[in-house]
């Protein structure tokens, strides 16, 4: 198969080598023709420099760079827009997912146009787990979309549907919810597959920052009011 996997990166210099290496080894092991699209979202550390060095070791690695931090959703959108293969997916670059779980997800693309992971046991602090449950409930109340583990960062789809499900508004944490909202509007069903989740060993998580949460609330209600539909 022809597969693109997008890796959003923000200050991940300590994690990105392991993530790219794990993913590249999986591509080779499974005999998949594809590309890794890493998006440096205005990192303030050496993430971009590390990615540029990795290009010499991984010939199917493409690097996209934002000159300034634009948000998780913007990084994913840029990476998915740049993807060239028949199937497009993404996973986080912080080492909390393993490429081997793609082997459980990919086969379902034969029957579904969109497949998403669900973390079997989330390896995150309590406050992030609580925020996730509250966000899932809010997504259901405001958008009418119920997904187990809506923000699981292992998703893949047929490239042909990207124009129909591409988030047009969300620049931050709402990106995942907007994808499901657009899937619902387009009448496209999805498949949920259990995946593993591992503790972050390096770097700092940003998902629980107040700025990120406030942006998410703003985007959520703008989307619901119709201002995110263009």
| Closest to 18 (Cα-Cα) out of 99, 103, 122 | 99
Query: What is the DSSP code string of 130-158?
Result: HHHHHHHHHHHHHH----TTTT-SEEEEE
pLDDT of residue 227: 46
Q: Which of 7-16, 113-122, 161-170, 214-223: highest mean pLDDT?
A: 7-16
Q: Can you give the residue ranges of every domain in the chain?
A: 2-225
- The percent of residues in the chain predicted with pLDDT above 90, rounded, is 67
pLDDT, tens only, 194-203: 999 988 777 5
pLDDT, tens only, 36-60: 999 999 999 999 999 999 999 999 9
The tokens for 217 are: 């609330």
pLDDT, tens only, 77-136: 999 999 999 999 999 999 999 999 999 999 999 999 999 999 988 756 656 666 667 777
Residues 71-77, mean pLDDT to the nearest whole number: 94
| pLDDT band, residue 211 (cuts 50/70/90) | low
pLDDT of residue 209: 61
pLDDT of residue 135: 72
Per DSSP, helices labelled H in 64-174 are 72-82, 102-105, 126-143, 162-165
Q: Specify the CATH class of 2-225 in words.
A: alpha beta
| pLDDT band, residue 10 (cuts 50/70/90) | very high
pLDDT of residue 43: 97
Please give the distance of CA 191 from its chain centroid, rounded to a whole number. Answer: 16
How far is it, in rounded angstroms, from Cα 197 to Cα 207? 16
pLDDT of residue 33: 93
| pLDDT band, residue 140 (cuts 50/70/90) | confident
For 38, 40, 61, 221, the CA distances from 101, given in Å and listed in that order, are 19, 24, 20, 33
| 114 or 138, greater pLDDT | 114
């Amino acid at each position: 198969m022809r597969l693109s996997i997008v890796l959003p990166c923000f200050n991940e210099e300590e994690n990105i080598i392991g993530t790219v290496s794990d993913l590249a080894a999986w591509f080779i092991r499974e005999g998949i023709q594809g590309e890794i699209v890493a998006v440096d979202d205005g990192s303030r550390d050496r993430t971009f420099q590390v990615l540029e060095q990795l290009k010499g070791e991984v010939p199917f690695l493409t690097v996209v760079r934002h000159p300034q931090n634009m948000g998780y959703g913007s990084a994913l959108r840029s990476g998915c827009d740049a993807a060239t293969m028949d199937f497009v997916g993404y996973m986080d670059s912080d080492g909390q997912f393993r490429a081997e779980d793609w082997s459980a997800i990919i086969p379902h693309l034969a029957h579904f146009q969109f497949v998403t992971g669900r973390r079997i046991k989330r390896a995150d602090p309590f406050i992030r787990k609580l925020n996730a449950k509250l966000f899932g409930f809010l997504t259901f109340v405001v958008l009418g979309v119920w997904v187990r583990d809506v923000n699981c960062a292992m998703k893949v789809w047929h490239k042909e549907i990207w124009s129909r499900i591409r988030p047009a508004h969300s620049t931050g944490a709402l990106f995942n919810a907007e994808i499901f909202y657009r899937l619902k509007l387009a009448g496209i069903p999805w498949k949920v597959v259990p995946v593993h989740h591992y503790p972050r060993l390096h770097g700092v998580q940003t998902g629980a920052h107040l700025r990120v949460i406030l942006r998410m609330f703003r985007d959520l209600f703008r989307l619901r009011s119709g201002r995110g539909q263009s």
